[in-house]
Amino acid sequence: MNSYMQDRIKGFTEKNENKARFLIKCPDQPGIVSTVSEFLFKQGANIVESDQYTMDPEGGQFFMRIEFECPNLMKNANKIEKDFQPIAEEFHMDWRIMYVSQLKNVAIFVSKEPHCLLELLWEYQSGDLMANIALVISNHDTCREMVESLGIPFYHIPANKDIRQEVEEKQKQLLKEYEVDLIVLARYMQILTDDFVKNFKNQIINIHHSFLPAFIGAKPYERAYARGVKMIGATSHYVIGDLDEGPIIEQNIGRVDHRDNASDMKKIGQSIERSVLASAVKWHLEDRIIVHENKTIVF
């Protein structure tokens, strides 16, 4: 890691040493917001951002994200979590507290095409993607120089369907070694097994080069061209066992017309892929996403 990034990260962690985020999901009923707010008030906390959403006030699911500051937060973290447990039980909450100064460790998986990887590395270098990019894993050696030039470890692990189990064991060992919190598939063109995915529930973000659910699977630009579409897009989603069926985080589109062949569409689409993936990764790192069934609530 270069000195510029070290300074940015140090400044971020110092600035946010007393800041945390609540993510809450529970059945809706009166009193949730006031009870959580009162609890934070009694802890000496100041709420700096609050968002909530209900699917139905009459018995639907309720979702809330609160960002707050609290003096001596890390010293009192265990007590805060313990004291909140009775409230969580009363309202049947699925909840987490994330401490902003504790940056998430990110692993990026990539194959030959580097455009999504480069976007993430640029956002990281500029200080707009606040995380620790712990390592990059690739089934090709193409991107080694651009990764290692930033002081980020690069691991070349050739992969194909015949050695998939062996490859994933090596990958899991590295992810454990680097204590990875989030895996980003930045155009990693290998299918992950169910066994691998189930170990990282809602911790793997993929970019699919089409506007799902259209053109699931391989070669979506070629199929879009053959279909004569007038817009193409990209979709970032969490990975589940079913291919390209995971909870969608972000999507975007671009216009095309009869003059654009499959190569033109791919060039337009790659720009969309970069921005869509970067947005999804940032939202995850900022704890803005709550997964409910096969959908996401993004605050």
Kind plus residue range of the DSSP H or E element containing 76: helix 73-90
Q: What are phi and psi of 267, to 5 degrees?
A: -65, -45
Given a contact cutoff of 8 angstroms between Cβ atoms, the answer to whether 74 and 17 are in contact is yes
CA–CA separation, 108 and 139 (whole Å): 12
Residues 6+ apart with CB under 8 A from 236: 205, 206, 207, 208, 248, 249, 250, 251, 276, 277, 279, 280, 281
Q: Which of 28, 181, 244, 287 is catalytic?
A: 244
Buried b (16+ CB within 10 A) or exposed e, 38-64: ebbeebebeeeebebebeeeeeebbbb
Q: Residue 138 forms beta bridges with which residues?
A: 110, 156
128 included as an active-site residue: no
Sign of CA pseudo-dihedral 206, 248, 217, 267:
negative
Residue 64 to residues 60, 67, 82, 246: CA-CA distances in angstroms?
A: 13, 10, 19, 22
Which among 147, 116, 122 is positioned nearest to 134, based on CA atoms? 147
Peptide bond into 213 cis (omega under 30): yes
Task: Name the residues annotated as catalytic.
Answer: 244
